[in-house]
Amino acid sequence: MIALFRIIEGLALLTLGRKLFWLFVGLFGFEAGMQFAPRLLPHQPEWLVLVVALILGVIGAVVAIFLQNMVIGVAGFVGGGGVAAGILQALNLDAGMLPLVAFIVGGIIGVILVSALFDWALIGLSSLAGALTLTNVFLPHHALALLAIVILFAIGVAIQGGWLWNEKRRT
Rounded to whole angstroms, the Cα distance separating 137 from 22 reads: 23
Least confident interval from 31-45, 46-60, 135-149: 31-45
As to burial, measured by CB atoms within 10 angstroms (0-12 exposed, 13-18 middle, 19+ buried), residue 80 is buried
Q: Do the Cβ atoms of 110 and 80 come closer than 8 Å? A: yes
> By three-state DSSP, how is residue 140 classified?
coil
* Verdict on whether the full-model pTM lies above 0.75: no
Rounded to whole angstroms, the Cα distance separating 157 from 124 reads: 6
pLDDT tens for 68-107 read 777 777 777 877 888 888 888 777 777 788 888 999 999 8
